[in-house]
Amino acid sequence: MSKGEAAMPPSSGAAERFAEGFDVLTRAEWEELAVAGLRGRSLADLTTTTADGIDILPVHGSDTFDSSGDPSGLPGVGDRTRSSTASGNLVGGWDVRALVADEGPAAANSSVLDELLRGSTSVLLDPIAIGIVSPDDLARVLDGVHLEMVTVALLPGPNTREVAGWLLDLWEGAGVDACERRGVLGLDPLGVAARHGGLAAFDEATLWLVDRCLDLPGVRPLVVDATPYADAGATDARQLGWATATGVAVLREIVEHGLTVEEALDQLSFTLSADSDQFTTIARVRVARRLWARVAEASGADETRRGQVQHAVAAASDLTRHDPWVNLLRGTVAAFAAGLGGAEAITVRPFDSALGRSDEFARRLARNTQLLLLEESSLAAVIDPAGGSWYVEHLTNRLAEKAWQHLQVVEGVGGMGEAIASGRIAEEASVCWKERLNHLATRSEVVTGVSDFPDIDEVRLSRTASPTLPDGPLPLRRRSAVFEDLRDATETAGGAKVGMLALGSQAEHTVRKTFATNLYAVAGIRMVPTGVEGVVELPPIVVVCGSDDRYATDGVEAAAELKAGGVRSVHLVGRTEDLGDELAAAMLEAGVDEFINADSDVVDLLGRTLAGLGISVAGSPAPTEDE
């Protein structure tokens, strides 16, 4: 091919030749082969079910999503599944929106200028964290910023309404032309009530600010923030259904205030949660657009005004305090998925956010994560690249169906304002969280670096404390917190150890020894080799590791000797069903107190283990002398 010559797409004949030699299997044939390879397990073992009751099948095809006729349509039209606009993020990529939460206007201004100089394209100000309490404070935060060139967004909070008014005044005072003012004012009465408490309703001051923005096409005063629901533990379908219900309530309120449907739609922006579940985040962003397009259509909006302005924020509930470096991977996946899903603006939280106020290094990594995805990987070069995938389309459809049902439930009880005020939303989120805690405790959902593969020798990072978290109906519930409480208790006590008795050869005990070492390290408990003969004083708790065959010959005797030597609690790595009823009963009679395995409730087990070592865990009863 000569220089400058356009590359020609492969012909259909070339595609057919490429496929030559490959067998085309039907689903029935694939299932037959799969079952043969499962060695006695059923095909259902390969299917997982989400918290919303959506089955994630092991393989998808045209029978799980019929793509004939391209049901998702084109970007910018129809149900907006592919994109709210025809061009998506092709021109310039998505908006790299930096979270600014430094203490004090001066420090915040330094971060704002640094972010904008080094690649961020807009800023998200946290008025509470910064401490913006006057117009002068806001002016100092934005000193030196070309307000006619930069989008300024405000994080919803109890004082955001006042700060939003000061921002409008600042634009006017700086002489910024109306068509050059760009911002998101963060007015979200329902979301603020859910996260911080207070009345879930609009007031005249909020509506007056909306009126001030009617002639500002680049400013979206109202925000529908889904992150309070996500951070509190709500399922994906509930997050989407409740966010859409919130949007309906806001739309209804401002239309009643006197705006047309189209004018009202132009005032809204949506904030969605992006987490380390890649495909679900992609589907979440796509579904949010589809639901809102349906609401806009049902409200009689013109076809051209049915898109949704989306800002995706990396989930605070995903962040860990222990081994925070893994947060870099979580933030990368969240940004990757939100970008593929088509969000117009994305905020990656710095990896050290759960520890306190982020430093410059953490902010730089958060920013550069997005710049690499945009400039090195060109993720914005294709609109909806996941579209057409049988799996993604199937997940999108099922999630949309479930979310719409939750929207209907909320509307049936009087709307989102009533659902928040009555406590219904908080109660449902709490139930969802308890169910998720069960998965976390048994490690069917893993938090890498915390509940699995913990670094027991980690050098902890230190950061300046952040402001106190909101204590409203929907608190922030981090997935790692329950495990971090265990680890913190151990470190506060100066460390903890349990004995480890390995039976048989290294080949017989290595796998279970490694498993147990990893498990107890979750709580910061070290395992020390322990024998039986000649030991003057045995540890109060000893973990026995070996093969099932070795347990059959030596296990009962070992457990009995440990108890005779003064060990208070004997933990044995294995399953009673694998040992058989007779041997398991003999083990128990000899003194085994715990059988631990991959299905064990790690939080309960480690909490009781620490109690047995005389260590109290935050929120747990103090250990007694018997323990």
Residue 143, pLDDT above cutoff 90: yes
The pLDDT tens digits of the residues spanning 379-422 come to 999 999 999 999 999 999 999 999 999 999 999 999 999 999 99
Place of tokens 């296990």: 555
Name the class of domain 488-612.
alpha beta
The answer to whether 119 and 96 have CB atoms below 8 angstroms apart is yes
Residue 178, pLDDT above cutoff 90: yes
Give me the half-sphere count of Cα atoms (radius 13 Å) on the Cβ side of residue 74: 4
The pLDDT tens digits of the residues spanning 102-130 come to 999 999 999 999 999 999 999 999 999 99
- For β-strands 122-125 and 95-100, DSSP reports them as parallel
Mean pLDDT of the chain: 93
The DSSP code sequence of 146-198 is -TTT-EEEE---TTHHHHHHHHHHHHHHTT--GGG--EEEEE-HHHHHHHH-S
User: How far, in Å, CA of 105 to CA of 50, rounded?
Assistant: 43
Which residue ranges make up each domain of the chain? 95-416, 488-612
Q: What is the pLDDT of residue 534?
A: 45
Matching CATH topology for 95-416 and 488-612? Answer: no
Residue 5, pLDDT above cutoff 70: no
How does DSSP classify residue 6?
P
Residue 625, pLDDT above cutoff 70: no
The answer to whether 157 and 186 have CB atoms below 8 angstroms apart is yes
- Say yes or no: domain 95-416 is CATH 3.20.20.240: yes
69 band by pLDDT with thresholds 50, 70 and 90: confident
Confidence (pTM): 0.92
The pLDDT tens digits of the residues spanning 464-512 come to 999 999 999 999 999 999 999 999 999 999 999 999 999 999 999 999 9
- Calculate helix-pair angle for 481-492, 424-441, nearest 10 degrees: 60
The closest of 404, 402, 422 to 413, measured between CA atoms, is 422
Mean pLDDT in residue range 174-190: 97
